[in-house]
Structure 1
Amino acid sequence: MTEITEETIFTWGAPPLKFGAGASDEIGFEMSQYGVRRVLILTDAGLVAAGIPERIADNLRRYEIAAEVFDGVHIEPTDDSFTKAVGYAREQGPWDGFVAVGGGSSIDTAKAVNLLTSYPGELMDYVNKPIGAAKPPPGPLKPLIAVPTTAGTGSESTAMCIMDILSMKVKTGISHWRLRPTLAVVDPLLTMTLPAGVTAAAGMDIVCHALESYTARWFTTFDRKKPEERVTYCGSNPISDLWCEKSMALLASSFRRAYTHGSSDVDARTDTMMAATFAGMGFGNSGVHIPHANGYPIAGRVRSYVPDGYPPDEPMVPHGQAVSLTAPEAFRFSFDSAPERHLRAASLLGPDDQKQNDPREQLPSVLVSLMRDIGIPNGISAVGYTENDIPDLVPGTMKQQRLLATCAKVPTEDDIAAIFAGSLTNW
């Protein structure tokens, strides 16, 4: 037998999917198939005011499932907000299952609650290294139905949950295939009232998911792993490529329309929602890299910036904005690692954009054109950072080694500093 030293195996996983207008009205039936009697719905106060979680609770009750609503999910969740949600669920439990209603914040919070009410321990026991102990969930979790109300995170498809660690001013998360929801119920009608600013920020998260996954290291370039050592992110592979290409094609035809005419264009909302789900199926297996790694300290160290369409009383850089702000410069950096993939991505995402003479500029140019059209801030300076902040941002990025190792051209600290410097303004 020849000893194999390079990886020859890739993995791919995603939950069953129910997609389409009105799909959220069938959650009671779906949850009843798991034999549950008592379910906790996790959501935020804004969605409660809109009546969506209570409508889902009523649907559950029609199938003789007791349902209660927790509305304390924090937009851009933190270790503190996760811990409070877990505390509530432990005090009011036990629960037979969970329904997450909202953006990635609600779905990620529900994943953490499911884990920490199914098994003992504290949040940091399971958080990724080097920040946490990265303890794997010891067994199966309870049924979790994810119901996204924004077209962005793809969290309904993925096996990870993300949070801010307040004391360290950095984002990190928990990553394990057992966190993946039992079922994704994706109803485009739930996104029709999203403000334009939220549509733009969430949509840029889709863009970066698809692009980073598509340009990630090919799975065979990783060292061979034992089965128990394989992580959720395995690098770009033939299956993830298919989902990411389709996501980019859908975005090219629908994203600007969803931003401009989102309250009336059901087709644009449907295609953007589908793009988010497809990108989640891609990056949730292959991984993301530099833009996401940079986005975590950008969001974690925010001082005073308040984005359009979000609550006015709390400074924040929404996740989708944060990951997009350094994307043009990051893809200039990574171009040499896979020129053909960067060019293919540019042609899928911006088929009508004018082609640049310099091939390295084609994908950044497509991104800048899109970002300008949908009102994304012009670089990290537009959300409050200056050149003097770069030495403080770089360490937060370098803590994201799980992500940086997924890039086909692994950056040094100096490389990351240069990407931040090149992203002070993008146009």
Structure 2
Amino acid sequence: MSFNMYVPTKILFGAGMLNQLHEQVLPGKRAMIVITNGKSTRANGYLSRTEEELKSAGVESVVFDKVQPNPLKATVMEGAAFAKENGCDLIVALGGGSCIDSAKAMAVMATNDGDLWDYIGSGTGKGQPITNKPLPIVAISTTAGTGSEADAGCVVTKPETNEKLGLKTPLIFPVLCIEDPELMTSVPKNFTAYQGFDALSHSLEGYVSKFANLMSDMYAITAIENVGRFLARAVKDGNDIEAREHVAFGNILSGTVMCVGTTSSQHSLEHALSAYHQDLPHGAGLIMLCRAYFTNIIEKHVCDERFIGMAKAMGMEEASEPMDFIKVLNKLLEDCGVADLKMSDYGITPDEFSKMADNAMGPMGGLFACDRVQLTRKDCISIYKKSYK
């Protein structure tokens, strides 16, 4: 039942909240705005609106626009150098999870010496303490997926070693989060589904983790209700603001689940997939794995009542057995048009599963300690095989 809760981020939630950025007390006067290397942030006017809001608040800004969908260490280091060269004292992350994660890592490296991997505590990271306070971060989310806009972690890939690892420290909580569903209406159907399943997975995993507690349960089950019941609507009609709001709300709650509880080994298994295949969206990888992963837990009967509870939260009021959760999960996948995603479409082959299992259990193995039943290497390979198409 015990928990430790510290979530200091100020959250402005709701349609139109970007318009209130200029009214906030901002922790700097020269901002580096971090966006992805795509076109949507500019094309949809989100960048120009953010620049104007900052200008109205008396904050100058420069733009760093090179972040990839699965952010790379080299890009983080380049962004940190850019922030230093331009004398930035504030980082504004404008985008989805990869953008916000990158901004957090850049905030650390803009004020600390060496390489990002010096401060990573697992894999080939050196686990050194962060000696200088990172630059303050304002997170403006344009997707509902990772919850990174209001949590204390970030995930970055080092392709040279195929490591997709997390850095978690209270020092990188954003000081301000703007969660404006109006900025999410332009997200395409498939990415709305991918991102929504990422948010949902954080809470599904958190609810069945052995570190679930009274506080994480409250956040997780509410997130499961909001994402589970509204994601298909958001996918069907991107301009359905009510649906977008509920999914975005679930996303914020799922971020908090990771602050007061934890996720589980499903995330490690997926990180191994996208560590080797950069073009695989994280949420798509979770979709591929989720049925086999959660079925494996159900078959162990370690928390049957929790799976029944999650099925009810997602809309199956009559749920009475754990496998009802798999039924409602599969229905959501079908309703979102992503039930048949194929690993093979991203170049993944079955002969990689052994090295991926080793990768998941090695550099990214910390989350396995959060499982109620310890997965073996054989279990991991089996989950990959059952998920393969």
For residues 345 and 137 of structure 1, the distance between their equivalents in structure 2, rounded to whole angstroms, comes to: 38
Letter of the 1:250 counterpart = N
Contact 1:327 1:364 in 2 (8 A): no
Q: 2:110 matched to which residue of 1?
A: 117
Q: 2:100 matched to which residue of 1?
A: 107
Among residues 310, 319, 330, which one is paired with 1:368 in the alignment?
330
Measure how far apart 1:274 and its partner are: 0.7
Letter of the 1:291 counterpart = Q
Answer yes or no: is 1:78 the counterpart of 2:54: no
Letter of the 1:243 counterpart = Y
Contact 2:207 2:217 in 1 (8 A): yes
Listed as ranges, the matches of 1:9-28 within 5 Å are 9-14=2-7, 15-28=9-22
Letter of the 2:316 counterpart = P
Q: 1:134 matched to which residue of 2?
A: 127
Number of aligned positions between the proteins: 382
Contact 2:141 2:149 in 1 (8 A): yes
Letter of the 1:407 counterpart = D
CA RMSD of aligned residues (A): 1.9
For residues 202 and 9 of structure 1, the distance between their equivalents in structure 2, rounded to whole angstroms, comes to: 30
User: Over residues 242-301 of structure 1, what are the superposed CA-to-partner deviations in whole Å (9 max), with x where a residue is unaligned?
Assistant: 1111111112321110000112x1101111111111111112331111221111111122
For residues 35 and 23 of structure 2, the distance between their equivalents in structure 1, rounded to whole angstroms, comes to: 20
Deviates more, 1:369-378 or 1:120-129: 369-378
TM-score scaled by length of structure 1: 0.85
Letter of the 2:247 counterpart = T
Q: 1:90 matched to which residue of 2?
A: 84
Measure how far apart 1:361 and its partner are: 2.1
Measure how far apart 1:347 and its partner are: 1.6
Q: 1:405 matched to which residue of 2?
A: 369
Listed as ranges, the matches of 1:318-397 within 5 Å are 318-335=281-298, 336-351=301-316, 355=319, 359-376=321-338, 377-378=340-341, 380-381=343-344, 383-397=346-360
**Structure 2, gaps ≥5 residues long:** none
For residues 285 and 171 of structure 1, the distance between their equivalents in structure 2, rounded to whole angstroms, comes to: 23
For residues 379 and 237 of structure 1, the distance between their equivalents in structure 2, rounded to whole angstroms, comes to: 35
For residues 170 and 366 of structure 1, the distance between their equivalents in structure 2, rounded to whole angstroms, comes to: 33
Answer yes or no: is 1:259 the counterpart of 2:259: no
For residues 341 and 67 of structure 2, the distance between their equivalents in structure 1, rounded to whole angstroms, comes to: 29
Measure how far apart 1:381 and its partner are: 4.4
Among residues 132, 156, 160, which one is paired with 1:167 in the alignment?
160
- In structure 2, the residue corresponding to 1:415 is in which secondary structure? helix
For residues 26 and 43 of structure 1, the distance between their equivalents in structure 2, rounded to whole angstroms, comes to: 20
The change in CA–CA distance for 1:189 and 1:262 in structure 2 (over 3 A counts) is: same
Measure how far apart 1:156 and its partner are: 0.6
Answer yes or no: is 1:41 the counterpart of 2:33: yes
Measure how far apart 1:379 and its partner are: 5.1
Contact 2:308 2:319 in 1 (8 A): no
Letter of the 1:190 counterpart = L
Measure how far apart 1:388 and its partner are: 2.4
User: Over residues 26-57 of structure 1, what are the superposed CA-to-partner deviations in whole Å (9 max), with x where a residue is unaligned?
Assistant: 2222243x3x2211111124212322122111
For residues 132 and 29 of structure 1, the distance between their equivalents in structure 2, rounded to whole angstroms, comes to: 40
Listed as ranges, the matches of 1:127-276 within 5 Å are 127-217=120-210, 235-263=211-239, 265-276=240-251
Q: 2:49 matched to which residue of 1?
A: 55
For residues 304 and 127 of structure 2, the distance between their equivalents in structure 1, rounded to whole angstroms, comes to: 34
User: Over residues 187-223 of structure 1, what are the superposed CA-to-partner deviations in whole Å (9 max), with x where a residue is unaligned?
Assistant: 1100011110110110110111110011111xxxxxx
Contact 1:134 1:174 in 2 (8 A): no
The change in CA–CA distance for 1:188 and 1:72 in structure 2 (over 3 A counts) is: same
Letter of the 1:346 counterpart = A
- In structure 2, the residue corresponding to 1:131 is in which secondary structure? coil
Measure how far apart 1:375 and its partner are: 2.2
Identity %: 26
Contact 1:39 1:96 in 2 (8 A): yes
For residues 237 and 118 of structure 1, the distance between their equivalents in structure 2, rounded to whole angstroms, comes to: 36
Measure how far apart 1:10 and its partner are: 2.4
Measure how far apart 1:117 and its partner are: 1.1
For residues 61 and 196 of structure 1, the distance between their equivalents in structure 2, rounded to whole angstroms, comes to: 33
- In structure 2, the residue corresponding to 1:171 is in which secondary structure? strand
Letter of the 1:39 counterpart = A
Deviates more, 1:204-213 or 1:161-170: 161-170
Deviates more, 1:321-330 or 1:199-208: 321-330
Measure how far apart 1:104 and its partner are: 0.5
For residues 296 and 279 of structure 1, the distance between their equivalents in structure 2, rounded to whole angstroms, comes to: 18
Q: 2:63 matched to which residue of 1?
A: 69
